[in-house]
Structure 1
Amino acid sequence: MKRSLFSLTIGGFGIGMTEFVMMGILPDLSTALGISIPKAGHLISAYALGVVLGAPLLVGIAGKYPPKKILMGLMLLFTVFNGLSALAPDFRLLFVARLFSGLPHGAFFGVGAVVASRLATTGREARAVSMMFAGLTFANIIGVPIGTFVGHHFSWRITFIAISVIGLLTIWALNSWMPDLPASKNNNLKSSLAIFKKTEPWLIVGITAIGTGGLFAWFSYIAPLMTKVAGFSDNALTFILMLAGVGMAVGNLIGGRLADRLSPANATTFLLLAMVISLLIVSAVSHLKIPAIAMTFITGAISFALAAPVQMLMIKAASGAEMLAASVSQASFNIGNAIGAYLGGLPIAAGLGYTSPEWVGAGLAFGGLLFCVALLIKKKKESVKTLA
């Protein structure tokens, strides 16, 4: 792997850890702050809302600067607000800190995806993008389980301090290894926003915002699902989250190759259908330990196989405004985070049990699949017109 790409991988690791460790320490935060688990789940939604607000806003403001400077500035914000999360004395201030710590997330992945595709050899762009997302998946193998263990046995505040340290390491790596690529020629926010006059980017937003909500409806409440339904001990959560992370890492690599060999649209369609089926199976077998463990790996793999294909879909649909479009794609991904975490918590609060979020997730994934079918139909019609 090129060192320039590896600097993006480190950043992805830190971002993945701060986003997904919340799922592992949710019961600990609930106890420490004296709130219910569904209310603690609002902290997941707060982070996602920060991503949605920050992705297009920060890219729009910083678009005239070279990518290296943009990425370093974003990681500085990431480091500061995760540090403040560690110091928050109550739920309200932690909610605000999580909101602001989410601001640089989408912009980092959006700018980083465009940079990775520029640094890649022809025909391997999706694989290069998947290398950046590999950091996020490795966070689920290593960072999230360790952060969960520390949060459960010591303090969740130490977990956020560790995330801030990773942010500092990313800044150093970007400064040392990332080449000085020129700023985008089209840095006018108004002209960049013109791409959203077309239908295709909005269909991709729908695919991402609705479809990936299925992942978060499942993963946001994986801790109570595995302890209260499958019957695992709290100590087993570290291993379970690590297994989910391994699945995500495997799926991420598969997704990049699928997008390069087939097409991003076809790969996304297939994977969303697979997610619907997988989540329904999770709901049916979670009371059995071995099937529950197996489906944790499989569902993690399917969900994260979507990352590179969806990102490439948006980049290819937004010629001349790739950074803004890629950041909007990440914002859409975290709309899915907010929707999935919120809607997944509603049936739990209504007393329907900890397997009920999987039905919500399957419905969301199916909704994303419908957007994908609409996109494929549109592409086919355009192809016919071109031939005519």
Structure 2
Amino acid sequence: MIPSKHRATYAILALAIGGFAIGTTEFVTMGLLPQIAAGTGVSIATAGHYVSAYALGVVVGAPLIAVVAARVPRKGLLMGLMAFFAVAHLAILAANSYATVMGARFLAGIPHGAFFGIGSVVAASLVPHERRTAAVAMILGGLAVSNVVGVPVATVLGQRVSWHAPYVAVGLIAALTVLAIATWMPHQPANGEESMRTELRALRRPQVWLALLIGTVGFGGMFAMYSYITPTMTDLAGLDERYIPWVLAAYGIGMVAGMVLSGRVARYGILRGIIASLGLIAALLAVFGPAAHVLWLAVVMVFLLGLVPSILVPLLQTRLMDVAHEGQSLAAALNHSTLNTANALGAWLGSVVLTLGWGYGAPSLVGAVLAVLGVGVAVLSAVLERRTRTAVRGEQELVAA
């Protein structure tokens, strides 16, 4: 039974607060990469591994939690995930070396994918069927708003106080999320049909793997560029480091706009929207390097590279939920696992080209290639789906005859 409109809105808002905390911690590392590198005694290229460590925590945690906790009541599980997230962030106070920061960031990433994945399934169940993508976008909207407010403010906090401070602040917001879920979310029992076996059954479907591959390859392009946004803007665009929070805010405003537009794009077809979004991302990344030498143009490009990928994420989330059938919780969690595989892949490939001395314009070119590969996977998925529908239609006509 769908709750009243207001109760559903508050429940989704509680999840969006968690999305705000997650978005802040995921992206603030990129804004503070020089400070964290200096604080832990490593190069900026090596500090990019901290981005990858968090992403790998998501990759490991998302499917593991979704499967093992398949029969755990959703409300309690979401509260537990945010409580773990809070503790992992407060533990950053004890981290000052490369090894300890890598460990802390890995642990902090573990609840990320499961929270968004299970939260998306819960949000979709609270609204009418035609509003599923919009409900998912509301949760991810917390992540988008974090890039307008949370990341810039946390970056300033890290620059002026300590690079530890933003992570502690995120831990406190996560604790607030636990209270919000406890207060606003209706009881969410696990579906009686859910089990480890039924969740894993979704992995037998080729379209699930294709959707995951779209996210892994296609979205890696954006992270190849964004992981090194601070040195790119200071070195290529000549921007003073103190103005980096404004660039991050421009990215966040683009994300918010993308989340708002995502539900409208979905009306024209989920897979069609995915293909169009990836194609545009590839084009933007291909010209980002030369554009970054002109400050105002670089900021416009950053805004657009916040907007277009943010249209893509809810579409991918809905696509996975549609093709997974009985394994929606695992599939939805795996979406964030694959996006963070893309995060780790993009950050690593960016560090490779930087280590080779290709300059800060090179990571976006790597990203453009990845986005083009994502388009190819999405087109393959569309072709196979069309063939399957044609075959099923033919069998139905034979039976009818």
- The answer to whether TM tops 0.5 is yes
Q: Which ranges of structure 1 fall in alignment gaps of 5 or more residues?
A: none
Matched, 1:362 2:368: yes
2: CA distance between counterparts of 1:79 and 1:338?
22
Which residue does the alignment assign to 1:128? 135
Which residue does the alignment assign to 2:293? 287
2: CA distance between counterparts of 1:140 and 1:193?
34
Matched, 1:337 2:326: no
Counterparts of residues 1-388 of structure 1 (less than 5 Å): 2-259=9-266, 261-388=267-394
CA RMSD of aligned residues (A): 1.0
1: CA distance between counterparts of 2:127 and 2:346?
33
Deviations 1:75-95 (A, max 9, x none): 011001111123212110110
1: CA distance between counterparts of 2:40 and 2:319?
41
The amino acid of 1:344's aligned partner reads: G
**Does the CA contact (< 8 Å) of 1:55 and 1:331 recur in 2?**
yes
TM-aligned CA deviation for residue 181 of structure 1: 2.0
2: CA distance between counterparts of 1:126 and 1:226?
34
The amino acid of 1:77's aligned partner reads: F
TM-aligned CA deviation for residue 110 of structure 1: 0.4
2: CA distance between counterparts of 1:86 and 1:115?
33
2: CA distance between counterparts of 1:344 and 1:252?
26
Name the SS for the 1:306 alignment partner.
helix
1: CA distance between counterparts of 2:54 and 2:263?
26
1: CA distance between counterparts of 2:59 and 2:252?
24
**Does the CA contact (< 8 Å) of 1:255 and 1:306 recur in 2?**
yes
TM-aligned CA deviation for residue 122 of structure 1: 2.6
**Does the CA contact (< 8 Å) of 1:244 and 1:297 recur in 2?**
yes
TM-aligned CA deviation for residue 182 of structure 1: 2.2
TM-aligned CA deviation for residue 344 of structure 1: 1.2
Deviations 1:295-348 (A, max 9, x none): 111111011111100000000011111101111111011100000010011111
CA spacing shift, 1:292–1:81, aligned 2, 3 Å: same
**Does the CA contact (< 8 Å) of 1:87 and 1:157 recur in 2?**
no
Name the SS for the 1:186 alignment partner.
coil
Among the aligned pairs, what percent are the same residue? 36
1: CA distance between counterparts of 2:182 and 2:75?
8
Deviations 1:221-250 (A, max 9, x none): 000110111000001101110011000110
2: CA distance between counterparts of 1:110 and 1:34?
36
The amino acid of 1:365's aligned partner reads: A
Q: Which ranges of structure 2 fall in alignment gaps of 5 or more residues?
A: 1-5, 395-401
TM-score for both structures, normalised by structure 2: 0.95
Count of residues paired in the alignment: 387
The amino acid of 1:385's aligned partner reads: A
TM-aligned CA deviation for residue 220 of structure 1: 0.3
**Does the CA contact (< 8 Å) of 1:52 and 1:332 recur in 2?**
yes
**Does the CA contact (< 8 Å) of 2:70 and 2:199 recur in 1?**
no
Larger-Rg structure: 2
TM-score for both structures, normalised by structure 1: 0.98
2: CA distance between counterparts of 1:150 and 1:215?
25
**Does the CA contact (< 8 Å) of 1:279 and 1:361 recur in 2?**
yes
2: CA distance between counterparts of 1:92 and 1:325?
32
The amino acid of 2:372's aligned partner reads: F
Deviations 1:241-272 (A, max 9, x none): 0011000110121122211x112111111000
**Does the CA contact (< 8 Å) of 2:154 and 2:166 recur in 1?**
yes
Deviations 1:45-88 (A, max 9, x none): 00000000000111222221111011001001100111112321
2: CA distance between counterparts of 1:206 and 1:141?
29
Name the SS for the 2:358 alignment partner.
coil
The amino acid of 1:71's aligned partner reads: L
TM-aligned CA deviation for residue 196 of structure 1: 1.1
